[in-house]
Amino acid sequence: MKSLKKLLSVFLIFILCLAVSVGGAACEFSKHGLSVPFDYTDTEIIDDTPSSEGEGGEAGGVGEDENIGEGESYFTDNIRFYRYLETFENARNSFFHGLNVNSLEMLAAFIEYVNFYGIKTKIDLTIRYSADDFYSEYEKARELYESSAHLIIGHAASVGYSGKTGSYRITETDADTLATKTFDIEKEHVKAQTEYALKMVIESERAEDYDGFKINSANKVLPNITNSEQLRWAISNGYKPQCTVGSAAEKVLNKAKAVLRTIISDEMDDITKLRAIYEWLALNVQYDNFAADELRENEELKASEYDAWYAEGVFDNLKAVCEGYAKALIIMAGLEGIPAILLTGNMHAWNRVMIGGEWYVVDATHADVHVDTREVFSYGSFMITDAEKTERGYTSADYADYAATTEFNIFENITFTYNETDYDLVIDSAAELKTVLEYAKSLNPVIGENGCTVDVFVKQENYAEFGFWKERLDIRFLYHNTLSPDYDLSGNARYTFYLK
C-alpha cells in the first residue's frame, strides 16, 4: 500500500510539473495572440523522414511509355505531402504529437497534409535546421504550399510559435459543406443539348462489375478519402484513392467508373479514350447558367457549398459549371491512366492532359457552343495548345512548367469508312464535304428536334474555295447553314455544321 501511495505521489508531481511547463509556454505564445502548442521539454520527437530516393519520393517526369497507372507522380517540382505521409500519421498518433521538420519543403508538405485532411487538432512542430524562428519559416512554407497545392477547399489556420518551435492547425474549413447544395434543381436555366453529333459509336465490352482501371495498378495508395476534392487530388497525382465507405468520394468514384464502363474499351488508345470522355461530358452534361449567374451576383453565396463546382454536379445531376466539368474530366481520365490537371484563369476552368509525354489543352465546357437556346457539340477545344487558348482569351498561371505547346489535329485522327472508302474530317473537296454530311445523316436517320452537329477542318489554302463547296451542296437536311468558323493560329478553320 505504501509503495502504491508513493507511486501515486510521484505521478501527481509529474503532472504538476507538466502543467507548470505548459503554462510557461502559454505565456510565451499568448503575447502573440496565437494558439498554444505543447511544451517540448520532454516531448518525443519523431524523425523518420524518408530520403529523396526513399519510399514515396517524387518521381521523374512521365515519358511516352509511362502513365499514371504506375503510381508515379509527374509533378517533380511541386510540394506533395504523400512522401511524408507515414511520418505525419505517426506524429498524429503518438502520445506527444511531436514532429521534427528538417526542411522548408517538409514544412510546406505538412501544411498541405493538414489542409487535405482538414485536421483541426493541434500538431506541434520543431524546426531543426537553421532559421530565426518558426513563424518566418511558416510564412515561406505557406507561400510555397499555396503556389503548388491547387486544393480548393477553403480554410482558416491557427499558428503559434516560440523560437524554432511552433504549431499549425486548421480552425475552420469548407470541407464540411462541400457540394451539399444544388442550384436550379429542376434544370430550368440550362440550354437544350444537341441530341446527336458525328462522333464515335461505341459498344463497350466491359462488364457491369469491370474494375480493371489503370489507377488500380498504382503502387501508392492514398487512404481515408472522403470528398470529391480529395479524390480529384489523389487521382491527379497518380495515387490509388482509398475511399471511406459510404463517403461522398466513394459515390463519385463509383459513378465515374459506371460511365467509363459504358463508353470506353481497353482496346482504345489514350487519344480515343480521352475523346470518348470529352464527348460524353459535352453531350450529357449541361452548363448550369443559373449557378454561375447567382454566384456572380450574390457575394454572400459560397461556391464550395454548391455541387455545380465539383464532380458531384456532373455525376449526380448532369449539370455543372466549368470547374465541375474540369474536375470530372480529371477523375475520369485519371482512372484510365491519363494524367490531367486543373487550370483556372479569366473566370474559367479547364484542363491540361498528358498524352504520349506531351501536354495538351482540353476544355469540355467549351465542347458545347451556345447557339440560340441550344448547346451544339464541337471538337474545337480538344487537344489544342496554350497559345490557341490564349488567342481565345483564356490564360492561366497554374502549372507553368507543364505547358501545352505541341500541336495536334483531332480531325485527322477521326476516320470512318463509307461506301467502302476511308475518310477523315479534313475537308479537301466539295465531294468530301458532301460525303461527310451524308455519313452523319446515315448514322442519325431521324435527327431529333435539337439537331445534329458535324465538325470539319479546312486548311488555309482551301478556305476560299470552301465557301463555294458549301453553296453547291444540294442536301435538303442542311437546314441551318453553319456556325461561325473557329480559326487556329495557322489560319486553318474549324467548322461546325448544325443540321436540323
Q: pLDDT digits over 427-453, tens only?
A: 999 899 989 988 887 876 666 666 678
User: What is the spatial distance between Cα 4 and Cα 10, in angstroms, rounded to a whole number?
Assistant: 10
Higher pLDDT, 141 or 24: 141
- Shared domain check, 321 and 238: yes
Residue 8: inside a domain, yes or no? no
Q: In whole angstroms, how far apart are CA 239 and each of 4, 80, 175, 334?
A: 52, 12, 21, 9
Cell of 454: 458535324
Considering the domain boundaries, does residue 160 fall inside one?
A: yes
187-233 pLDDT, tens per residue?
778 888 777 788 876 667 799 999 999 999 988 899 999 999 999 99
Length of the chain: 500
Distance of CA 287 to the CA centre of its chain: 18
Q: Which of 225, 264, 215, 229 is nearest to 247 (CA)?
A: 225
Mean of the per-residue pLDDT values for the chain?
80
203 Cβ partners below 8 Å, 6+ apart?
Answer: none
CB atoms within 10 A of CB 249: 24
Cell of 18: 507538466
- Pairwise pLDDT comparison (279 vs 42), residue with the higher score: 279
The model's pLDDT over 98-123, given as tens digits with 9 standing for 90+, comes to 888 988 999 999 999 999 998 888 88
- Residues 216, 344: one domain? yes
Given a cut of 50, whether residue 399 has pLDDT beyond it is: yes
Examine the domain organization and report whether 81 and 152 are in the same domain.
Answer: yes
Per-residue pLDDT at 1? 54
| Structural contact between residues 320 and 288, judged by C-beta atoms closer than 8 angstroms | yes
pLDDT at position 201 is: 63
Query: Mean pLDDT lowest for which of 56-65, 302-311, 319-328, 478-487?
Result: 56-65
Are 136 and 81 in the same domain?
yes
Q: Is residue 46, in this structure, part of any structural domain at all?
A: yes
pLDDT at residue 55, rounded to an integer? 34
68 is a domain residue: no
On whether residue 9 sits in a domain, the answer given is no
Both 217 and 324 in one domain: the answer is: yes
The answer to whether position 11 is within a domain reads no
Residues 204 and 329 in one domain: yes
User: Where do the DSSP E strands lie in 280-398?
Assistant: 286-287, 319-320, 340-345, 348-355, 358-362, 368-371, 374-377, 382-384
- The residue that leads in pLDDT, 379 or 469, is 379
Amino acid identity, residue 413?
N
Q: What is the pLDDT of residue 150?
A: 63
Query: How many Å apart are CA 195 and CA 384, to the nearest integer?
Result: 25
Residue 196 backbone phi and psi in degrees, to 5? -130, 155
Residue 482: what pLDDT? 59
The DSSP letter of residue 181 is B
Residue for grid cell 505564445 = 29
Q: Provide the pLDDT confidence category of residue 124 given band limits of 50, 70 and 90.
A: confident
Is 71 within the bounds of a domain?
no
Which grid coordinates belong to 425? 474530317
The amino acid at 303: A
For residues 153 and 213, membership in a common domain is answered with no
Same domain, 361 and 429: no
- C-alpha cell of residue 45: 520527437
Q: What is the DSSP string of 219-257?
A: S-EEEEE-SHHHHHHHHHTTPEEEEPTTSHHHHHHHHHH
Q: Which long-range contacts (CB under 8 A, 24 or more apart) does 60-63 make?
A: 61/357, 62/339, 62/354, 62/357, 63/357
- Whether residue 121 sits in one domain with residue 57: yes
In this prediction, residue 333 carries a pLDDT of 97
On whether both 158 and 293 belong to a single domain, the answer is: no
For helices 270-284 and 248-263, the axis angle rounded to 10 degrees is: 110
Mean pLDDT value of segment 121-133? 82
Sheet strands side by side (includes 486-487) = 196-197, 452-458, 493-499, 486-487
Percent of the chain with pLDDT over 70: 78
Q: What is the CATH number of the domain that holds 395?
A: 3.10.620
- How far apart, in Å, are the Cα atoms of 408 and each of 185, 314, 339, 359? 39, 27, 17, 11
Calculate the CA dihedral of residues 29, 35, 36, 38 and round it to 10 degrees.
Answer: -130
The domain tally of the chain equals: 3
Q: Which of 176, 204, 238 is the last residue of a domain?
A: 176
The answer to whether residue 200 sits within a structural domain is yes
SS3 316: helix
Q: Which of 377, 408, 439 is the last residue of a domain?
A: 408
335, 260 Cβ separation under 8 angstroms: yes
Average pLDDT over residues 349-367: 96
Supply the DSSP symbol for 99: B
Going by C-alpha positions, the residue among 322, 283, 279 that lies closest to residue 414 is 279
The mean per-residue pLDDT over the stretch 81-92 comes to 90
Last residue of a domain, one of 408, 443, 464: 408
What's the CA gap between 283 and 277, in Å, rounded?
10
Q: Which range, of 351-360, 373-382, 465-474, averages the lowest pLDDT?
A: 465-474
Place of cell 474559367: 348
Give CA angle at 29 (28, 31), nearest 5°: 80
**pLDDT interval class at 472 (50, 70, 90):** low
Residues 402 and 485 in one domain: no
Confidence band, pLDDT 50/70/90 cuts, at residue 372: confident
Structure confidence by residue, pLDDT tens digits, 277-311: 999 999 999 999 888 888 788 877 888 899 999 99
State how far the alpha carbon of 259 is from the alpha carbons of 202, 284, 309, 485, in Å: 12, 11, 19, 32
Mean pLDDT for the stretch of residues 243-260: 97
Cβ atoms of residues 165 and 140 within 8 Å: no
- Look at residue 87 in the predicted model and tell me its pLDDT: 93
What domain range includes position 393?
Answer: 183-408
The C-alpha cell that represents 389 in the structure block: 487558348
Highest mean pLDDT among 15-24, 324-333, 440-449: 324-333
- Number of neighbours of residue 401 by Cβ within 10 angstroms: 10
Residues 303 and 367 in one domain: yes
Please tell me which residue, 94 or 138, carries the higher pLDDT value.
138
d(CA 361, CA 365): 12
